[in-house]
Amino acid sequence: MEQAIATNTAEMDATGTSTTASAQVRVQLRLREMVLDGELVGGQRIAELAIVERLGVSRTPIRAALMRLEQEGLLDALPNGGYAVRVFSESEVSDAIELRGTLEGLCARLAAERGAAPMLLNEARMCLRTLDTVLGPPALDDEALSRYVELNQQFHGLLREMAGSEVIARELDRVARLPFASPSAFVVVQANSAGARDMMVVAQAQHWQVLDAIEGREGSRAEALMREHSRIAQRNLREVIRSQHAHRLPGAQLIRRRN
């Protein structure tokens, strides 16, 4: 992959097209992957020169990518310059999930009070009907699980659109970039647990209730339901990091467990 970064950049240079933005994105994605996969250890200072040699790009896109990952919350800026991979306490992860729930609750309230676009409401209904179908069988195979994750993300994205606020959307993007705070962060990890499908069914029922409150222009109810919805992720966090499947959660090695 590192070779591909260098090769693709070189090809774009040959066409005379500016590659700065493209290189930054590619490097940012690769560095995020290295952090979440444990290739860059939590608490470890990042050796910029080693990254330059490994990825085969100049320091400029690497420095820009490191700055972006620090803004996302995956890296800490060091007092004397440079960056280190951030380590999260369990309570910080819990707070990130709580923040997402608060922001999504605000989205739901605004959508209800301002009135969501009919097209978005129709898309949300279609999304949830498809989710009902996915959750119909008594057990979910890998394909169904993957489809659930896709549709769950779609519904949460539609909710954000319904609010019609670019400010809130940016903040939601920011918090959801943390490896543990996205709406489907724990779904795959818990796929083989006994109550996994039951938990998804409960979450799906909450989806319908939130949509019903938005269509009924019940702002306070929509907000309360969406905040309660995030409690499922809080419960999943506690169960996953104490289970034998914790290693399957991207970035799990960055979570410092409570004693």
Q: Which CATH architecture has domain 89-256?
A: Up-down Bundle (1.20)
Domain ranges of the chain: 2-86, 89-256
d(C-alpha 213, C-alpha 183), whole Å: 20
- Judged by DSSP in three states, 83 sits in strand
d(C-alpha 97, C-alpha 114), whole Å: 25
Instruction: State pLDDT tens for residues 190-228.
Output: 555 656 788 889 999 999 999 999 999 999 999 999 999
**What is residue 168's predicted lDDT score, i.e. its pLDDT?**
95
DSSP string, 181-245: TSTTTTTTTTTTSTTHHHHHHHHHHHHHHHHHHHHTT-HHHHHHHHHHHHHHHHHHHHHHHTSTT
pLDDT band at 4; cut points 50, 70, 90: very low
Instruction: State pLDDT tens for residues 93-149.
Output: 888 889 999 999 999 999 999 999 999 999 999 999 999 999 999 888 878 888 998
Q: Which two tokens stand for residue 149?
A: 């994750």
d(C-alpha 41, C-alpha 200), whole Å: 33
Fold of 2-86: Arc Repressor Mutant, subunit A (1.10.10)
pTM over 0.85: no
